[in-house]
Every structure is written in C-alpha cells, then in structure tokens.
C-alpha cells in the first residue's frame, strides 16, 4: 500500500509533535511554553518538551481544525513523514496506538447508534 493519509485526525490527537531545531528556532510554530519565549539551548528545549507543538486543552494539536491540518503546506517534518499506512518499523508502535484508538472510537459509535435505535433497551 502506498503511504496515504485518510484524514481521520487520530494521529493529530494522540501524539506530541517534536519540532526539529531549525523548525523550533524559526519561531513559525506555536509551541508548548511559548509564553516564556524560545530557549536558546535546543538540547534544553527538548528536555523540557518546549520544542513540541502546542496542544489544545483536549490534547489535540493546535493546528487541527475541522479534522484537517490548517498548516498542511508548512506542517513540520515529522508530520510529513508519518503515515498510519507506513510499513516502517520505527512507526510500528504509533500505528498500533492509532489502531487501538480507532477500535475504541468505532465501538463508541456503534453503542451510540444502538442507544439511538433502541432507547428502551438496557445496556
């Protein structure tokens, strides 16, 4: 299968996005702890997690809007490299997490459908 994005948005909700040193220094991206300014020492920034993209209160990426990436053309390198259809070993764990989440969401969707369809049945 060719690497492909199904735009489910699950990965943009599940994982922290690490910026490269160049991306972090560019100041183009909203980052965790941005209110304190950029940290000069990139190694220190990575230790604090300051080089990660900012998240909304619900944990999703700040750039996820209506289930799509609002900065698609300029998204960080890691977002360009990752696809949940990838066969690369380095992504195996992440893909497993996405599949688990997808199963949970599908189950929740089914239960919601059943509750709407059969409201008097006790679950």
Q: Which residues bind ligand SF4 (CB under 6 A)?
A: 12, 17, 53, 61, 63-64, 69, 71, 75-76, 79
Q: How far is the CB of 91 from ligand SF4 (least distance, A)?
A: 14
Quote the least distance from Cβ 99 to ligand SF4, whole Å.
18
User: Which candidate, 54, 61, 18, 59, places its Cα nearest to that of 34?
Assistant: 54
Gap between the Cα atoms of 36 and 44, Å rounded: 14
And the tokens for 95?
Answer: 């893909």
The least CB distance from residue 64 to ligand SF4, in Å, is 4
Nearer to ligand SF4, 93 or 121 (CB): 93
Closest approach, Cβ 3 to ligand SF4, in A, equals 14
Question: Of 67 and 112, which CB lies nearer to ligand SF4 in the complex structure?
Answer: 67
Q: Which of 90, 68, 65, 89 is nearest to 78 (CA)?
A: 90
Considering beta carbons, is residue 40 or 69 the nearer one to ligand SF4? 69
Decide: 79 and 87 in contact? Cβ < 8 Å.
no
Of 17 and 45, the one with the shorter C-beta distance to ligand SF4 is 17
Cα 69 to chain centroid, rounded: 10
Tokens representing 39 are: 């940290």
């Amino acid at each position: 299968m060719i690497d492909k994005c199904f735009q489910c948005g699950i990965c943009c909700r599940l994982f922290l996005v690490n910026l490269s040193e160049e991306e972090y220094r560019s100041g183009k991206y909203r980052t965790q702890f941005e209110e304190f300014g950029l940290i000069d020492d990139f190694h220190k920034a990575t230790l604090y997690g300051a080089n990660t993209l900012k998240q909304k209160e619900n944990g999703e990426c700040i750039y996820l809007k209506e289930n799509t990436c609002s900065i698609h053309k300029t998204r960080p390198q890691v977002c360009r490299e990752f696809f949940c259809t990838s066969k690369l070993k380095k992504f195996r764990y992440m893909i497993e997490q996405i599949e688990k989440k997808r199963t949970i969401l599908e189950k929740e969707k089914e239960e919601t459908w059943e509750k709407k369809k059969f409201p008097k049945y006790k679950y």
